[in-house]
Chains A and B, each alone.
Chain A
């Protein structure tokens, strides 16, 4: 039995959400996205972004480092894309930017589209920097963006945070009543060195680590903050790990790298629920 999940104003047919960056614009046919409670698009920025210089991927034990750098079609092309898009499940659009104004303009524009059920603010991409600092670094920088965002849309808002966000407790306490929930976490800043060249392997030098390597660290944070509305994200690559996050108090679970490793991974979770 697939369990219906209510996260304030968002209703999902099950707690499993396909993560941003692992299912294209919620249009990757190889992944059975209709089996998910929701799918989050690639992060949309105001103007198209070419993304980071390759190589963009590094293999690690039980994990994956990526430095895609938010390659995306940009707001204008995304609006055109939405015109004949048939969504496979509840559709959440991931939104990114470098200023509060960039976030709020995108939310304002996209709020006109009925097909969109809500937004996930990407305040945590380790590949996106504002004046050398990660966007959403601490309470002030997160709040500046969230202030602008809640005024720009009436649709549900989730915010995806970096594992290294400072003053996390303060952010959760203040913003809990104003948002649908908090996604803990985006990838962990990481890098790899190529032994042949002696140089950093990734074109962008550093990227973000995902996969089961990080799940116990995320589990620790989810459990610690379980009194808030937490959507767990980080290394959910088996039904057992999924179950641990539910037991830790997560209201829903984002599945990311596991979709890349096996596009039919969701089938193991949905049957596990039955």
Chain B
């Protein structure tokens, strides 16, 4: 685990930023996240890919923090439970800023020559500019008004998804519970101490940072979300 200040590299891609730091000794696994810490604030970001022991994140410019990321940040991590290793022919589904952890999964599958299909949905065309910079690419992309769930075919293969909650709910409705989802929630610590980042599951509230962020789709209490 690291807990130290790094220089932060930033590349601008219209609606997104590609952020990186490194090098690190311990390589994280797909689904895991790091906390970006300022004096009185910390925010979780899932790893999007790894290149030569540098860790990359895809960050949507959404608020004060994401629009003004400092050039030096204290970083903690990696934290959280990763995705299980996908079997061949798995379906990968991402929406918007949820592209990060799915990209990392795709990078690992590509490197291990495992066959997969990746579907990605965006709100606007210009957000797709980022894709050329990534080490793995979606096989099919949609832009509103088409939803990524419009192009998914129900199948028996397991799926791995990350994106807005509305999207994840539609994925679960269409493909059923035989998949894994990476969930998002505001966090105060990132390592399980505060119980602030819980989501409802079929066995009570569970911490996104510790029991997650990756959950079996069937374990999430979707109706209570």
Contact surface of A with B, Cβ cutoff 8 Å: 21-24, 28, 30-31, 42, 50-51, 54-59, 61-64, 66, 68, 71, 211-212, 237, 257, 259-264
Alpha-carbon distance A31/B191, docked complex (angstroms): 9
Q: CB-CB < 8 A to A212: which residues of B?
A: 40
Of B1, B3, B196, which contacts A56 at CB under 8 A?
B196
Cβ-Cβ contact count across A and B, 8 Å cutoff? 87
B3 touches A263 (CB 8 A): yes
B3 touches A22 (CB 8 A): no
Of B39, B186, B189, B199, which contacts A59 at CB under 8 A?
B186
B193 touches A28 (CB 8 A): yes
Of A23, A64, A71, which contacts B198 at CB under 8 A?
A71
Q: CB-CB < 8 A to A211: which residues of B?
A: 40
Within 8 A of A (CB), among B20-51: 37, 39-42
Q: Does B192 contact A (CB under 8 A)?
A: yes
What is the chain A residue whose CB lies nearest that of B199?
Answer: A54
Q: A51-B198, A71-B205 are in contact. Are A260 and B193 (CB under 8 A)?
A: yes
Residue contacts A-B, CB under 8 angstroms, 7 given: A22-B193, A23-B193, A56-B196, A56-B197, A57-B197, A71-B205, A261-B188
Secondary structure class of chain B's binding surface, majority of residues: loop
Q: Does B145 contact A (CB under 8 A)?
A: no
Q: Mark B177-201, 1 if CB is under 8 A from A, else 0.
A: 0000000011111011111111110
Of B1, B74, B185, B189, which contacts A260 at CB under 8 A?
B189
Alpha-carbon distance A260/B37, docked complex (angstroms): 11
Q: A57-B187, A262-B3, A264-B3 are in contact. Are A24 and B205 (CB under 8 A)?
A: no
The 9 closest A-B pairs by CB, nearest first: A260-B189, A57-B196, A30-B191, A28-B193, A260-B188, A57-B186, A56-B196, A62-B40, A68-B195
Alpha-carbon distance A51/B205, docked complex (angstroms): 8
Q: CB-CB < 8 A to A55: which residues of B?
A: 185-186
Whole-angstrom distance from the CB of A261 to the nearest CB of chain B? 6
Q: CB-CB < 8 A to B191: which residues of A?
A: 28, 30, 263
What is the chain A residue whose CB lies nearest that of B224?
Answer: A53
Contact surface of B with A, Cβ cutoff 8 Å: 1, 3, 37, 39-42, 74, 76, 185-189, 191-200, 204-205
Alpha-carbon distance A58/B139, docked complex (angstroms): 38
Q: CB-CB < 8 A to A31: which residues of B?
A: 193
A263 touches B76 (CB 8 A): yes
Alpha-carbon distance A264/B37, docked complex (angstroms): 13
A261 touches B42 (CB 8 A): yes
Q: CB-CB < 8 A to B198: which residues of A?
A: 51, 54, 56, 71
B205 touches A50 (CB 8 A): yes
Alpha-carbon distance A63/B197, docked complex (angstroms): 17
What is the chain B residue whose CB lies nearest that of A68?
Answer: B195
